[in-house]
Chain A
Amino acid sequence: MRFWEKMQGIDRRVIFTLIFASVIVPTLWPLHLPTAITPETQAFFNAIDSLPPGARVMLPFDVWPSTLAETEPMAVAALRHCFKKNLRVIGLSNVAMGGPSIADRILKRIGDEFGKTYGIDYVNLGYKANYQAVLLGMGSKIADIFPTDHHGTRLDSLPLMREVPNYDSVRFILIVSDNAMVDYWVSLVNARFGTPMGAGVTAVMAPKQLSYIQAGQLHGLLGGMKGAAEYESLIGYVDKANRGMDSQSLIHLLIIGFIVLGNVGHFVVRRTKGRGGQI
């Protein structure tokens, strides 16, 4: 039997089935594996933990609905940390597709969990187009870019926003993003206005953001679901990200197995064909 040739031509639906199984099994029977904390996540935690109660922070939800599995646990954990420390949160979004709705939902859910009041403890500014103009414009006067919040309430009737004319009154910016918005926050806001910031990004974005960490342009980074899981452990609220790490482990091992098996099969077939023989 041409075993390795058969293995090379295996139907991809077999691979899909194995992937499904390796997600479903740990979800149903969790392994509760511990998650080691990376220095970047610790730095992110420390940056927020060092803020005094009552400090105003900005939390841009620059995320698409497609990546909520990674970004929502980060945003939820960051909000829990902020509200636990009685920080006051200004939410907004630079992503038209769902960003302001996602911000609204998460802010309300976690705000209610901690008994926070809209307008005093947190605000959702909503979305405005052209992110470069938005980021620069807020450095001058937030009310010029956002005359109202997401719900249509004038900014000057919101107690929190009466204290925040621009970035000067913001102590820290916690960016949750799945796209290049972090680059713009860093290069426009941190560079021009000096506002310190940290970022929670999808795992695809994380390698690039480490350059900003090393350059001191970002103070802390959460990378993907793992970063969210680490942060959840640090703040003491174990949630979806931690529960997902078991499946993550199994699938990683499976994919490594695929790479090894695929390469072994490829070289065996190539070598045997080179000898002109059968496998």
Chain B
Amino acid sequence: MVGILSYGAYVPIWRIDRSVIAQIAGTGSMGGERSLAARDEDSLTMAVEAGVDCLAGLDPKEIDGLYFATASSPFKQKLGSSIIASALDMRKDVCTFDFNSSVRAGTSAVKAALDAVKAGSAKKVLVIASDHRVGRPGSQYEQMFGDAAAALLIGDNGAICEENGFATVSNPIPGPWQTETDTYLRTFEPKLDRLSGVLGDMPTAVNEVLGKAGLTSSDISKFALAGPDPRSYRDLARTLKFDPKTQMEDPLFSSVGVTGTSHALLLLVSALEKAAPGDKIVCVSHGEGSDAFLFTATPEIETAKREHRGTKYVASKKMVPSYGRFADWQGTRDTGWPPRDMSSSVVTFWREERWAFPFYGMKCNNCGTIQYPLGRSCINCRATDNFEEVRIASKGKVFTFAHDYIYDHGLIPGDGVTPGTRVVSDMEDGCRIWLEMVDCEQEAVEIDMPIELTFRLLHDKGGYRFYGWRARPVRG
């Protein structure tokens, strides 16, 4: 029985009220709020977070493939999935593929993973879809988009829901698009795209998958539909003849936004969190056509609910104080800070991959002290070349801290005006470690405060992107 073994999600903690954006744009507000990646987050860091959530309690070494889907890769050329796989401490022979260029890439990656498992070339494949799409200031996208990631572990043993059908439509509709040199997404005639594409292709795919299974829309517990805009849901419900009040998974528009490749999977995760055994869920994406899946929850679904945060990340939030902060983090306003012309050695970063991505430290074989970073000698008992490498625990508490207004390591958590917080932390495994603190107001930080690790962009000196782990308050 091939299907979903585990799920996870990630939504950045930050939200902005759409009316704040509308006020600056001089347009109407679409209502509600949208999620927002902090300055040190992008599609890749959010993907790692969703992966961590999905793999809670599971062994990353047992996974054979990592498929990363995004329409907003931080690199034009560089394999995001290889970085994510390392950060999640996967094997070196894990199959890493990136699925790009369309918001449909998330479901495409799920299809590829299911096929790999069915074909027997992999036992378990982790699919992560993540997007941090920046809308042109003043455009509808600026309000509409939200940042989020979702992860599904696909496999054939112990599925919490099984896949019962798939249908797809490919259709080169005009828009939206982004050329090689475009900074922002463009559209020519959104109404044409909607009528000819989304409202045609999504129902076509859904009806085909339902028809093949001998079902009608009334047999479906939840439709996890990722439409391109809030208006599309109403139209889709009407066309597909289902009750939007009871049968449609909340598209999270008023709380998160349109989240690109991750959207269909995020809504599927949301549906799975509430599903009972036997529930049938249709998951549908769009993007130059449409992919539709039919899933049925198994009795195992109940066991999955304990482990994951999933859409709890939607409720866990803080508001950004201003449009200025929003623009700084979106990168749509150039404050000239931090300086981007500093160089940094990519060689040392490569050499230190095990400190940086999977976050290995060392455990002294003589005195047992767990410490970071990896080195030659024990900081405590001074034994040399006598240690084993261990991953540092992901949770701990603050021993002491500082709010630093003047240190700029290239991309500190603040905005250049607010301070960067650094904490001396005692992790649950006893490791003492100095970490940068994010997602946190200064006043909230105190000695003994619980913290957890979060994967972030550390800095981008020399035009490269250096990723690693920071601390944040434990999220609900």
Query: Do A and B truly interact?
Result: no
B: residues with CB less than 8 A from A are none
A: residues with CB less than 8 A from B are none
